[in-house]
Amino acid sequence: MFRSAVIIEAFLSIVFILPLLWLSWWNRRSSHILLNWPVFGRIPALLCSFSNFHDFATIVLQKREGTSLFKGPWFSGMDFLVTSDPRNVHYVLSKNFLNYPKGPEFKENFEPLGDGIFNSDSDSWSIQRRIFHSLLIKNKRFDLAVEITLKQKILNDLFPILENFSQVDIQEVFQRFTFDNICELNLGFDPNSLSIEFAQIAYQKAFDDIEEVIIYRHALPGSIWKLQRWLQNGKEKRLKKAWKIFDDFLEQCITRKREQVGQSCRDQMEGEGFDLLTYFLAEDNDFAEVSAESGILTKSNKFLRDMAFNLLVAGRDTIGAGLVWLFWLAGTHPFEEQKILDEIKANLGAKTSEKWRVFSIEEGRKLVYLHAVICEVLRLYPPVPFEHKVAIEEDTFPSGHNVPRNMRILFSFYAMGRMEEIWGKDFLEFKPERWISEGGRIKHVPSYKFVAFNEGPKSCIGKESAFLQMKAIVASVIWNYSLQVVENHPVSPNVSILLYMKRGLKVRVFKRFAP
């Protein structure tokens, strides 16, 4: 069996991978990024530019007026209609929403998400959205828990790191910070990954590995990565190992929480004692009725595992990635950073006797310029840089492009932030003022142009919470510390399903003595 597997893989390399590598080398020398090769389509160009995938897609879309057909190898099923045209985005995500589900390929590529809300369509998605809308929007205990947990994490973990290090990778700091924070809100368990020791925690690394490896399934024909999964080699072997580690962690959390709930912990479900896992297990709420109607067992280990995984992705990475790009842009644009500080002083700057000043979520509502800064950061560096759908029936886009049945659609949200047609000639400038009206309020920009939180029926339920948490974190850090980007530190987006930086972000930390 093992010998046969080796022979198959060797044959595959000879007939498919080696010619691709040669064509990729030739393509790199020739810079023909729009060339469709016989048999191999645009795969050579993609492999050549894969380390800069998002910029590659942006260049192609800029040259093709916002929409381009990506041809994969013959018979591979890798053809995509790629678009950054807001007319097409609005049409797919809102106007003709029912014709464009995520489809089975999406669910297969994002296997570790299980049947969670990000990986679901139709009734399953609709039911879960009802549950989370009720839980996250209408539940005051959740809002209180977010406030308390965030303040504790800033005071007890984030500030001590900034106090004790003169230089630090702020990306790793924010990844650990947001991972701990969302684990506590979601699972009622604080991994304490953000500590002076920066200890390596297996399940946190596994979480990162899963996110990183999944992107490679989009760059290979399904038959290739499925064969690698069957042979258990390469990145698929790494994915399986990481997946097992993280699932074991989630199972331990669910088992421990069931035991605690069995001992009755409802009285503790206030403020910092509140977490979503306890709420699902302990409360007699509408979820039981929803479960009976839909067949979705909201108290089953499978549902709880998938719910937790999806919420961990949403709660950690939207905020974590956004914070990294924000402090890089603020650190390289001192005038804008000073305007953030001036606004905090003007609106919240009363002196206190505390060692550190931590701003509340409610105080953050007053910071209009900081809100504009966050919008501008997410325009240029959306935490989820792409999304794909599939057409159930043949259709025609507003741009005039024909959409065959079963054609896969890829939205490049990263490219949308770099389109002159959407943002004007200064589209590459970091310019928070573009978000502020003459009356000093945040301008409304349609969500099909500013797609960081998706659009239409699947727009992000937690958008407001994410903004308020980011404002509280940024205001607290900037008030107490100056983070100066290390000179000549290379900055570029990584290739993953979440938009972090390839090499982290090294900053020097200085105390700020605000008057």
pLDDT in tens, 65-98: 999 888 766 555 678 899 999 999 999 999 999 9
Tell me the per-residue pLDDT of 315-351, one tens digit each, with 9 for 90 and over: 888 899 999 999 999 999 999 999 999 999 999 876 6
Between CA 135 and CA 290 the distance in angstroms is 13
Q: What's at 176, amino acid-wise?
A: R
Nearest-5° Cα angle at 153, 150 to 158: 125
Nearby residues of 241 by Cβ (< 8 Å), 6 or more positions away: 206, 209
Tell me the per-residue pLDDT of 368-395, one tens digit each, with 9 for 90 and over: 999 999 999 999 999 999 888 999 999 9
Burial pattern 460-475, b for ≥16 Cβ within 10 A else e, equals bbbeebbbbbbbbbbb
For the cut 90, the answer to whether the pLDDT of residue 442 exceeds it is: yes
On whether the pTM is more than 0.75, the answer is yes
For the cut 70, the answer to whether the pLDDT of residue 283 exceeds it is: no
The pLDDT of residue 21 is 46
The pLDDT of residue 14 is 43
SS3 letters across 243-276: HHHHHHHHHHHHHHHHHHHHCCCHHHCCHHHCCH
Q: For residue 312, give both structure tokens.
A: 């961990």
SS3 letters across 355-385: CCCCCCHHHHCCCHHHHHHHHHHHHHCCCCC
Q: What's at 256, amino acid-wise?
A: R
Q: For residue 480, count CB atoms less than 10 angstroms from its CB and return exposed for 0-12, middle for 13-18, buried for 19 or more.
A: buried
Nearby residues of 496 by Cβ (< 8 Å), 6 or more positions away: 211, 212, 214, 215
Catalogue all structural domains in the chain, each as residue range(s) with its CATH number. 96-382+417-511 (1.10.630.10)
Q: What's at 463, amino acid-wise?
A: K
